[in-house]
Structure 1
Amino acid sequence: MAEDENDDLINNQEEEPQETITRVTGMYKDWFLDYASYVILERAVPAIEDGFKPVQRRIMHSMKDLDDGRYNKVANIVGHTMQYHPHGDASIADAMVQIGQKDLLIDTQGNWGNILTGDRAAASRYIEARISKFGLDVVFNPKITEWQASYDGRRKEPVNLPVMFPLLLAQGGEGIAVGLSTKILPHNFIELIDASIKHLQGKRFTILPDFPTAGIADFSNYNDGLRGGKVRVRSKISQLDKNTLVITELPFGTTTSSLIDSILKANDKGKIKVKKIEDNTAAEVEILVHLPSGLSPDKTIDALYAFTSCESSISPLGCVIEDNKPLFVGVTEMLRRSTDNTVDLLKQELEIRLGEFEEQWHFASLERIFIENRIYRDIEEEETWPGVINAIDKGLQPHIKHLKRAVTEEDITRLTEIRIKRISKFDIDKAQQKIDALEDQIAEIKHHLANLIDYAVAYFTRLKKEYGEGRERKTEIRVFDDVDATKVVIRNTKLYVNREEGFIGTSLRRDEYVGDCSDIDDIIVFTKAGIMMVTKVDTKTFIGKGIIHVAIFKKKDKRTIYNMIYRDGKSGPSYIKRFAVTAVTRDREYDLTNGNKGSASLYFSANPNGEAEVISVLLRQAGSIKKLKWDIDFSDILIKGRASKGNLVTKYPIKRIELKEKGVSTLKPRKIWFDDTVQRLNVDGRGELIGEFRGEDKLLIINQSGVIKTVTPEVTMHFDDDMIVMEKWVPNKPISAVYFNGEKEMYYVKRFLIEQEGKEEHFISDHPNSLLEIVSTDWKPMAEIVFAKERGKDRKDNLEVNLEEFIAIKGISALGNQLTKDKVNQINLLDPIPVESPEEVNAEDIEVNGEETVDGSEEASDDESQTTLF
């Protein structure tokens, strides 16, 4: 028996491996498509007609059902919404909180969370809501609403709400469906109304997002909100003092918590250095970032943008539902369609009101005829209902020629329902006044219909006037300058080199220390064999034996010039060359010699500002050579491409090369421009030329608040919004200023020189009412005083004042001389007196030999130089 059971078991096991194929084509074709369609249409994507997703539309409809002017518990609203929305209460409550936080359609009461800090709202049983006045005004009108049965057939719900405003663009919206998503950014309330009016007037318009978290945004690549566009958003960071930065506005999509976490993470990774962070956010954002002493605040601001959530990128995607299908459309077209839809809804509303008024006029006229002509007496003898109807109809016939439509049986039935009391107190004059008033209203509505566009413009204008207060733009529009991460990263890693073995890296701690670097830096290395390579910072990298120079590589650096003498082959002639390295391919070896075997570098120097030293060349004693030593000045050598052969030094063997004299820069002073669009300095020729700067030259900056300072110009610098003067500083050139002293309530004039370089100083009094009127850096500035008219006196003529003659140069902290005792209306700065500037003349610029070759004439001929680092 047992053997038989074992045999059956073995047979069953042998039969099991047979495969059964189940085709799932139908599942994918029908079920999954149904699910995808449901998610797209019923959950994730808003409708273009009213800008609502189904859950949002049902919430607003439920709130209208419950509306009695008082607040309702959100839990009550959620429960009521479940009659229309076949999902859980949590999804409805979350959707309602999102609408409430946008502060447009819902008046909220209680803790609704905080979009700045990311704090969640309280439970729905603790918070309350009601429809806002604006929501009641623009969202609801049951007479022009199309209705459909709810999911269980017990109630009616709107197909779309008759929203007469570009609500979708005002609130924004995003959602992830199956196979597609949408991300429509919020726009400014007032700007949307202005754009709608422009569209109605046939004018062109442009709309850009405006975020509730404020911040700064670059919309250069917004692409009208379509796929492929990009918006860069930044927090607003300013310098509180030399060791403290303050963040007062957030980029859209972040919170104070996520922002602080990203800063701490960047600090832990060594990208930035932060001493302490304080979060003082309440109604307004205030995050204090304390820096270690000696750290540049400007560079730290750029580092925050480069390595933290202080800057982020948003990719908009305009997708909406139209006719039960997804539609990809830009925000401009969305606004056009919304505005056209509003005009159509206004027209429907007017036509309904016109019909109602005409009906009222029709019955009021019938009522007057019925009572005034005592037609009600004609029914006294009638015993049947048809007889009553016929008697009244017959009695009306002589008096209804002026009516706009025929009298129906329903009209006559309504006449029979008039009470005796009303008939007895009927006043013909009042009845006529009512009819006249209705005729005026009918005429007004017909006028609106005939001038529908003007009516729509007036409608939008009213919305702006009634609801636009306090809804001004929050997000500042600006064009961003790209932050070069390599220039602002904190170099927290130490770089070492083993010259003989040919290794560089951060782990070679027993070898020679080169300097500090970061993990995103590139390193440029030169070897005795004349090989150059650029490579990424790593723990240990082999370059080649005999390393002679290691440094951090700066891409597009045209001012670092390399001076080199090399031997061509084992016993060949020696050549001299000067070159810059602006762009190379990473981890590729570049031979700076002619490539012959045995070539070697005999002399090499790297000069950060194009310095050209003088060297002495000593030859070995051989044969009949008479001149064994002579000097070479590198300034006589043209700067060419790195692949150039160079100039012949000698065909004889060189014993050694000695440095005789350190050189000065052979490059022209660096030209610096200020790009007002991005509020940054640059050396690329964008914006206004500030001047030509040598290493010791400073930039003079004066702010409207009366702050003056001199700084070394750097492309990473940030500037205050109230900056009024920025120019190259001439140390012996006086600054002239006229200011109002708030304490003494008088105008003063002062002229002074900067006493301490690099120090920020106030040159007007710190009284809160003190105000800088004019400031000038001209040698002989002129000012015009416009006097105020005093009661009982003639206005004094304007007075021109030569400020140089008015007051001598004094200390920066001096009060100055009183300008006038008379009342002043205005002070204007006039054109200065022409004068030959007595400023010190700089030494003549050293001639640059072939510097233009760095820009391309020699470099461009080298095929390798055309490759780029990234």
Structure 2
Amino acid sequence: MSEENDDLLNEYEENHETITKVSGMFKDWFLDYASYVILERAVPAIEDGFKPVQRRIMQSMKDLDDGRYNKVANIVGHTMQYHPHGDASIADAMVQIGQKDLLIDTQGNWGNILTGDSAAASRYIEARLSKFAIDVVYNPKITEWQSSYDGRRKEPVNLPVMFPLLLAQGGEGIAVGLSTKILPHNFIELIDASVKHLKGKRFTIYPDFPTAGIIDISNYNDGLRGGKVRVRAKISQLDKNTLVITEIPYGTNTSSLIDSILKANDKGKIKIKKIEDNTAAEVEILVHLPGGISPDKTIDALYAFTSCESSISPLGCVIEDNKPLFVGVTEMLRRSTDNTVQLLKSELEIRLGEFEEQWHFASLERIFIENRIYRDIEEEETWEGVIKAIDKGLKPHTKHLKRAVLEDDIVRLTEIRIKRISKFDIDKAQQKIDALEDQIAQIKHHLANLIDYAIAYFERLKKEYGEGRERQTEIRTFDDVDATKVIIRNTKLYVNRAEGFVGTSLKRDEYVCDCSDIDDIIVFTKEGKMMVSKVDTKTFVGKDIIHVAVFKKKDKRTIYNMIYKDGSKGPSYVKRFAVTSMTRDREYDLTNGNKGSAVWYFSANPNGEAEVVTINLRQVGSIKKLKWDLDFAEVLIKNRTSKGNLVTKHAIKKIELKEKGVSTLKPRKIWFDDTVQRLNVDERGELVGEFRGEDRILIITQSGNIKTIVPELTTRFEDDMIVMEKWVPKKPISAIYFDGEKERYYVKRFVVENELKEESFISDHPNSQLEIVSTDWRPMAEVEFTKERGKDRKDNMEVNFEEFIAIKGISALGNQLTKDKINQVSLLESLPYEAPKEIPANDIEVVDEENITSIDSKTEEPNKSKEDKGLNGEGQITLF
């Protein structure tokens, strides 16, 4: 029976998995391993700022130090006496220390942090301790020692580093369950901060990187968890088609940076022609742009889509008392400075003890020789007798000594050579004792004024080693780059209105606009539904699409005008609204939601334009008024969820566009980018002015043509344009030109009367030429005459345009300037004039697009005048 049970048990165990508890293994083995990695490999100690491998390298270099260079391979081999790991990890750690250019004086190819080139093999490169390292890292007398891993040697528990080395070099490591990332800081700023701490003052320290670049420390958070710094390359414009990168962000190199730029170009996010890497001792990367590409916009695109900008998340974690400690850089500096003070105190106390011992023995020696106590031992036959004789001879003379005379002191006296006794000079002996007393007094003074001594110590370090260690990374607050504004739109968007599809693959359907793969698109349908969706190859959004465009988040200037029917037989309403934010791929109903609702009229206006439409009703019953105009300028801009204002309760036959409108929003600022000859609202280039609906731009060309235009962002400008500014209708234009037919110079002043027509204000003769033109109120000019042979040069003539000629028509010839030959005409500083003030934007009664809220149409009555209208724009209008 028992054999049958055993067989059954064996069969059960074979067919079922057995469960083994591993809690003991996890507790004993894994935690031991985690503790080992944290304490012995990855995280630096707060006392000296070193990881164990770094500390062992520095101790080995001290062991081998004789002032000459040593092969790195030799140093690595020596370090293996302390470090229980392979040579590769030691060599890598040593190269990292050497590249920081603080503790190790290097010779040979140690790699390049700018290009990412690795160092040569350790057998080819050499190193020795720097003067700074010898000065601040070592002092065996105040170093605590422990046995090495095999017990054959003694290694320091911590090196007595008297400087905030961890913050100067930075450090990072990944352990088991935690990591650390301490960013490097500026050498001089650390010393200044230490001095401020010793003086009881507040201080702040920020990262400084050997790769230079630019840093935004707004969210540094003292280097604690949760903080973040943004670092950027330094990019400038070399010429209109070339950008130059002269500094790179920390954590990158020129190779990885160029790779990221090429990848962004391949993906179509930026557009570049070619890249040249001329980096040697300093970074120089040339980015060549195709014609017509804005350098300013490309710089922002480089920050948005490449490694030219990156974020670094610091994490201050150190080892203290064999435990990980999370601490900010301010507290790290305080602890390091306080530790330096204690080390300086220990060093002074040791030196004080040494000097006191020297003084004690020098005094004994003088008593021993001066009083000829050595003669008392001549008759002694035993060693005990010699000791007692000397002790007896010293006692009458040792009352001034600071401690008792020990047997060891007497033994040292017996070791004095006869030659030294015979040549003993009492005066020299006293001078030595006096010098020791001065040194003892000085050290006691330092101990009594320890903080002042520490401050002087730090200031000495700054003076001796601070040269050439000024801040390299520029601190600046970054403006966020809107990726949708700077990305190159290299994809075309199409729409199938009837079927309700939009996407980039519908090439047989209607083209909408250019877009990018990061854009969102906004779609409106005839049923009054709205949706925002990500650009894709093909997306269904709803049938009968009436409007589709690239959606701009937080866009408060694009205003949608809509008239819709509420239900199949309900009244019609008009509304104006903006769409600033919404949930992607969610359908929104812009009507009241009743079945059968439909849109009669829809327009999308990029600058809040308000057009005039004609409402036509159906002839039903006794309706008297079948046709009237509706001005959208009289409709307030409300929230998209508002019902709107009642248009009519009767059936609408059709709605016709009668008149395009102008903006009802506040004036907008417009800039001109001279490099690409384009207007923009992205603050690129020179500010042209603030424009309302009726405002125009004045354009004057070198060929003598003048016109005013509506400031549309798509406008292209002539190459010979010499004046572009906001047009002030009553402001006169002053000019001096050469008439080719009459061969005379003329002066004229005029105002632009026909704002819609381009006109020439000089004669159309092929030899006619414009000399100067001014749009100032009271301009002045200087005429320099040509020197004729045999005659003295005629003095220069000043021309006051206001006095020289009255304002006439643009077609007038003007007044003759002179019959003499002219060498040069130049404008002078204009006379003072207080121009008529424009009505400021705050005084104009307009709807504030910054406060688009839902307003009840029953309680709010629109009251808009023509002055409320703003800039024309090319919106999309749909009629049904």
Q: Secondary structure at the match of 1:569?
A: coil
For the pair 1:632 / 2:630, whether they are aligned, the reply is: yes
CA distance in structure 2 between the partners assigned to 1:40 and 1:441 by the alignment = 45
- Could you tell me which residue of structure 2 aligns to residue 751 of structure 1? none
1:642-653 matches, within 5 Å, as: 642-653=640-651
CA distance in structure 2 between the partners assigned to 1:317 and 1:133 by the alignment = 31
For residues 467-505 of structure 1, the C-alpha deviation after alignment (integer angstroms, 9 at most, x for no partner) is 000111111111111111111111111111111111111
Counterpart amino acid of 2:853?
Answer: G
1:99-118 matches, within 5 Å, as: 99-118=97-116
For the pair 1:858 / 2:850, whether they are aligned, the reply is: no
Counterpart amino acid of 1:498?
Answer: N
For the pair 1:422 / 2:414, whether they are aligned, the reply is: no
Pick from 123, 129, 132 the counterpart of residue 130 of structure 2. Answer: 132
For the pair 1:445 / 2:443, whether they are aligned, the reply is: yes
Q: Secondary structure at the match of 2:340?
A: helix
CA distance in structure 1 between the partners assigned to 2:354 and 2:121 by the alignment = 45
Deviation for aligned residue 1:730 = 8.2
CA distance in structure 2 between the partners assigned to 1:58 and 1:853 by the alignment = 63
Identity score, percent: 83
Pick from 132, 152, 155 the counterpart of residue 154 of structure 1. Answer: 152
- Could you tell me which residue of structure 2 aligns to residue 788 of structure 1? none
Gaps of at least 5 residues in structure 1 are 1-8, 674-680, 700-711, 715-726, 735-776, 782-803, 820-831, 862-870
CA distance in structure 1 between the partners assigned to 2:638 and 2:250 by the alignment = 49
- Could you tell me which residue of structure 2 aligns to residue 224 of structure 1? 222
Pick from 591, 594, 598 the counterpart of residue 593 of structure 1. Answer: 591
Deviation for aligned residue 1:191 = 0.6
1:524-563 matches, within 5 Å, as: 524-563=522-561
CA distance in structure 2 between the partners assigned to 1:733 and 1:89 by the alignment = 82
Residues 693 and 461 of structure 1: is their aligned pair in 2 closer, same or farther, counting only changes over 3 Å?
farther
Counterpart amino acid of 1:320?
Answer: V
- Could you tell me which residue of structure 2 aligns to residue 33 of structure 1? 31
Residues 660 and 733 of structure 1: is their aligned pair in 2 closer, same or farther, counting only changes over 3 Å?
closer
- Could you tell me which residue of structure 1 aligns to residue 372 of structure 2? 374
Q: Is the 8 A contact 1:568 1:596 kept in 2?
A: yes
Deviation for aligned residue 1:244 = 1.4
CA distance in structure 2 between the partners assigned to 1:317 and 1:643 by the alignment = 46
Q: Is the 8 A contact 2:168 2:186 kept in 1?
A: yes
Residues 273 and 97 of structure 1: is their aligned pair in 2 closer, same or farther, counting only changes over 3 Å?
same
Q: Is the 8 A contact 1:668 1:848 kept in 2?
A: no
1:196-211 matches, within 5 Å, as: 196-211=194-209
- Could you tell me which residue of structure 1 aligns to residue 288 of structure 2? 290
For the pair 1:248 / 2:275, whether they are aligned, the reply is: no
Question: Normalising by structure 1, what TM-score?
Answer: 0.80
Pick from 379, 388, 391 the counterpart of residue 390 of structure 1. Answer: 388
CA distance in structure 2 between the partners assigned to 1:413 and 1:844 by the alignment = 100
- Could you tell me which residue of structure 2 aligns to residue 269 of structure 1? 267
Residues 158 and 815 of structure 1: is their aligned pair in 2 closer, same or farther, counting only changes over 3 Å?
farther
Q: Is the 8 A contact 2:663 2:692 kept in 1?
A: no
- Could you tell me which residue of structure 2 aligns to residue 96 of structure 1? 94
Q: Secondary structure at the match of 2:662?
A: coil
Q: Is the 8 A contact 1:491 1:518 kept in 2?
A: yes
CA distance in structure 2 between the partners assigned to 1:156 and 1:778 by the alignment = 85
CA distance in structure 1 between the partners assigned to 2:696 and 2:344 by the alignment = 66
Residues 843 and 457 of structure 1: is their aligned pair in 2 closer, same or farther, counting only changes over 3 Å?
closer
Gaps of at least 5 residues in structure 2 are 1-6, 672-678, 699-710, 714-723, 734-774, 780-799, 805-822, 859-880
- Could you tell me which residue of structure 2 aligns to residue 326 of structure 1? 324
CA distance in structure 2 between the partners assigned to 1:244 and 1:122 by the alignment = 35
Count of aligned residue pairs for this structure pair: 740
For the pair 1:613 / 2:607, whether they are aligned, the reply is: no
Q: Is the 8 A contact 1:640 1:850 kept in 2?
A: no
Residues 457 and 854 of structure 1: is their aligned pair in 2 closer, same or farther, counting only changes over 3 Å?
closer
Residues 516 and 294 of structure 1: is their aligned pair in 2 closer, same or farther, counting only changes over 3 Å?
same
Residues 549 and 173 of structure 1: is their aligned pair in 2 closer, same or farther, counting only changes over 3 Å?
same
Residues 833 and 382 of structure 1: is their aligned pair in 2 closer, same or farther, counting only changes over 3 Å?
farther
Deviation for aligned residue 1:142 = 0.4
Residues 375 and 216 of structure 1: is their aligned pair in 2 closer, same or farther, counting only changes over 3 Å?
same
For the pair 1:503 / 2:476, whether they are aligned, the reply is: no
Residues 641 and 454 of structure 1: is their aligned pair in 2 closer, same or farther, counting only changes over 3 Å?
same
For residues 138-169 of structure 1, the C-alpha deviation after alignment (integer angstroms, 9 at most, x for no partner) is 00000100111111111111111000000001
Q: Secondary structure at the match of 2:286?
A: strand
Residues 330 and 730 of structure 1: is their aligned pair in 2 closer, same or farther, counting only changes over 3 Å?
farther
Question: Normalising by structure 2, what TM-score?
Answer: 0.79
Q: Is the 8 A contact 1:636 1:849 kept in 2?
A: no
Q: Secondary structure at the match of 2:357?
A: helix
Q: Is the 8 A contact 1:303 1:489 kept in 2?
A: yes
Pick from 491, 502, 508 the counterpart of residue 489 of structure 2. Answer: 491
Counterpart amino acid of 2:627?
Answer: K
RMSD of aligned C-alpha atoms?
3.5
- Could you tell me which residue of structure 2 aligns to residue 512 of structure 1? 510
Residues 629 and 18 of structure 1: is their aligned pair in 2 closer, same or farther, counting only changes over 3 Å?
closer
Pick from 341, 344, 357 the counterpart of residue 343 of structure 1. Answer: 341
CA distance in structure 2 between the partners assigned to 1:234 and 1:135 by the alignment = 32
Q: Is the 8 A contact 1:561 1:610 kept in 2?
A: yes
Residues 144 and 386 of structure 1: is their aligned pair in 2 closer, same or farther, counting only changes over 3 Å?
same
Residues 37 and 384 of structure 1: is their aligned pair in 2 closer, same or farther, counting only changes over 3 Å?
same
Deviation for aligned residue 1:10 = 14
CA distance in structure 2 between the partners assigned to 1:19 and 1:485 by the alignment = 56
Q: Secondary structure at the match of 1:217?
A: strand
Residues 848 and 603 of structure 1: is their aligned pair in 2 closer, same or farther, counting only changes over 3 Å?
farther
Counterpart amino acid of 2:491?
Answer: T
Q: Is the 8 A contact 2:665 2:847 kept in 1?
A: no
Counterpart amino acid of 2:439?
Answer: Q
CA distance in structure 2 between the partners assigned to 1:860 and 1:110 by the alignment = 80
Residues 698 and 221 of structure 1: is their aligned pair in 2 closer, same or farther, counting only changes over 3 Å?
farther
Comparing 489-498 with 91-100, which one deviates more in the overlay? 489-498
Deviation for aligned residue 1:693 = 4.2
- Could you tell me which residue of structure 1 aligns to residue 172 of structure 2? 174
- Could you tell me which residue of structure 2 aligns to residue 22 of structure 1? 20
Deviation for aligned residue 1:692 = 3.7
Q: Is the 8 A contact 1:579 1:854 kept in 2?
A: no
Counterpart amino acid of 2:639?
Answer: G
CA distance in structure 1 between the partners assigned to 2:857 and 2:172 by the alignment = 49
For residues 266-309 of structure 1, the C-alpha deviation after alignment (integer angstroms, 9 at most, x for no partner) is 11112111211111111111111112211122221111111111
CA distance in structure 2 between the partners assigned to 1:474 and 1:287 by the alignment = 18
Q: Is the 8 A contact 1:558 1:854 kept in 2?
A: no
CA distance in structure 1 between the partners assigned to 2:633 and 2:276 by the alignment = 54
For residues 778-812 of structure 1, the C-alpha deviation after alignment (integer angstroms, 9 at most, x for no partner) is 9999xxxxxxxxxxxxxxxxxxxxxx99xx9xxxx
For residues 550-593 of structure 1, the C-alpha deviation after alignment (integer angstroms, 9 at most, x for no partner) is 11111111111111111222222222221111122222222222
For the pair 1:74 / 2:98, whether they are aligned, the reply is: no
Larger radius of gyration: 2
CA distance in structure 1 between the partners assigned to 2:93 and 2:777 by the alignment = 66
For the pair 1:353 / 2:351, whether they are aligned, the reply is: yes
Counterpart amino acid of 2:35?
Answer: S
Deviation for aligned residue 1:854 = 4.7
Q: Secondary structure at the match of 2:555?
A: coil
Q: Secondary structure at the match of 1:402?
A: coil
Counterpart amino acid of 2:129?
Answer: I
Counterpart amino acid of 1:659?
Answer: L
Q: Is the 8 A contact 1:672 1:690 kept in 2?
A: yes
- Could you tell me which residue of structure 2 aligns to residue 750 of structure 1? none
Q: Is the 8 A contact 1:110 1:127 kept in 2?
A: yes
Deviation for aligned residue 1:460 = 0.2
Counterpart amino acid of 1:427?
Answer: D
Counterpart amino acid of 1:59?
Answer: I
Q: Is the 8 A contact 1:278 1:287 kept in 2?
A: yes
Q: Is the 8 A contact 2:100 2:169 kept in 1?
A: yes
- Could you tell me which residue of structure 2 aligns to residue 837 of structure 1? 835
Residues 713 and 29 of structure 1: is their aligned pair in 2 closer, same or farther, counting only changes over 3 Å?
farther
